[in-house]
Every structure is written in C-alpha cells, then in structure tokens.
Structure 1
Amino acid sequence: MIKRLNTARGFTLIELLVVISIIAILIAFGTARYITAEKGARDTARKSDLNQYRIALENYASAYNSLYPGGILGDIDSLCGKVVTGGTFASVYLSGGCLNDPRAGIGLQEDYNYRSDPTGSVYVLVADLEKSTDFFVVCSNGRSGVVASKPSGTTCPAF
C-alpha cells in the first residue's frame, strides 16, 4: 500500500484574501491622511506667502508716503510686475521674486489676489484655501483671518 504524504504547504485562498484586504485598507487610510496633510501644508504656505506680501507692501508704503500700489484689481502678478524705483515690485520688495499659489492653474485653484483702491490707501490680499472652501485674507489695516466668501472689493471683511 502506498501512503501519500501531505505535502501541501502555504496559505489558503481565504487567508491570502484577508491579508490583501487588510493591506488595502491600511493603504487607503494612509493615502487619505497623506493627501489631507499635503493640503494643510499648502494652506500654511499660502498664509506665509500672504504675510510676506504684507511685509513687502508695508516696506513699499514706507518708501511711498504710506501709500500702497494703487488701482490694481486682479491676480498677484499685476502687483509683482508693477514698476517701482529700482525695478519691479517683486524684484525690489520680495527677495525671492513673485510668490504664487502652489497649485495655481491646477483645476479650479486660483492664484493669490491683490486688490487696492485707486488712491493706494488700502489693500486686500486673498488666498483660496485648499483644505476648505474658505479664503485667507490679509488687509492693510493689519487684520488677517479666514472668511467664508471671497471679498470682491477693497473693504476688509469682518473676521
């Protein structure tokens, strides 16, 4: 009589499917957290960029009788390209050049927005936050914060 040796080694199909499912779930959670962390980091960069613009605008105002670049209603490139004594606004007042939104032009993400009245007495800087549907706003009166709707003019919104 011939005896068969049980030489079947390895995992069953069910065990393999369970392990693969667990790994897939872990990857899904990790990817979601990573994407959320990336969005938060880009929002932090946006806030930092607008604060750098605020400093540059205050330096500009110190040189131009407490007035800011006036009559600009548009994206930040309009401000950066403004000709000032010694070059452009970006080359004179921003050491690294014009700062743009990390995802400007990708999907619906807009670049930073600079709005000033015709006299140059007030300004509003706006960044579209990615992690939420809110906007980060920096005003010439020194106030900054998050608002639910994008300011349309040069009036600083209530925070």
Structure 2
Amino acid sequence: MSVQPASTEIVSRTAAVVRELQGLEGPLLPILHSVQEEFGYVPQEALPVIAEALNISRAEVHGVASFYHDYRKHPAGRHVLKLCQAEACQSMGSDAVAAKLKQALGIGFHETAKDNSVTLEPVYCLGLCACAPSAMLDGQVIGRLDDEAIDDIVAEVRR
C-alpha cells in the first residue's frame, strides 16, 4: 500500500501548487487537477488551503471536487482502469464486461485491489462509441472489449 504524505507536507505542497496556478482565470479546476497529479488524489487537508487562497468557502471547493468523478478522495492503485458505462457501450455489452472485470479483479467500481495493483472506475463516455464497449487503462483507450481484451487487461494490471 502506498504511503500517504503527512498533513504538513500536504499543506506545503498544495500551497506551492496554488501559488503557481491561482493567477489563472477560473483557477479551481486546474488547481484540483494539479493537486491530484501531485498526490494521486485530492487530500482533504488540501481543501482549506485552496479555499483560503482563492477566497472561497471550503464547501465550494469540496462541492467541485466531489461533483467531478475524476477527482479521487483516496490514492489510486498502480493502474487506473476506467470502464465506459454510457449508452453506446451499454448497448454493446459493457454490463457483461464490467461483471467479468469485477470478478477477475476482485473489486467493484470506485475500489482499489488489496494489492494496490488497480483501481476500477466507471466513466460515462470515452468518445469511442463506434468501438464499444470501451475502456481506458492508464490513459490508453481500448475499444471493442471482448474476453481476450479482458484477459489482456487483467494480465497487464497484475504484472
């Protein structure tokens, strides 16, 4: 399991990110993205730092961070597998693909494997509707998921 940074380190590193980006127009989303890139998730300790610097409430920062599904509250596994659950993928069997992946990985959506190998997340369109069902593994899109592709994905995240 990954070691999470101490609270003072989170505050310090978040403050550095905020200083770099707070001059942007509409800086909250870029700051949240950079904080997640920095830590692998958006730590709760970062929210008041961001709120104070941007002169907005912690509730506003929390509302934005919790509204967008790409922001994580906890560190992700070594691999992040995003499985499309939008209508086109559903019509082409994404529910069956999801069931097979959940079974093979031993986790559900929004969960990380006990060995920290992979985090499974639902997404609601990858723009690969013509290649449905689709997924994204560590930023690389995979279309036309079938049993062979599922086996390849599972093998990749288990390495």
TM-score bracket relative to the smaller structure: under 0.3
TM-score by length of 2: 0.25
Bigger share in helix: 2
TM-score by length of 1: 0.25
* Structure number with bigger Rg: 1
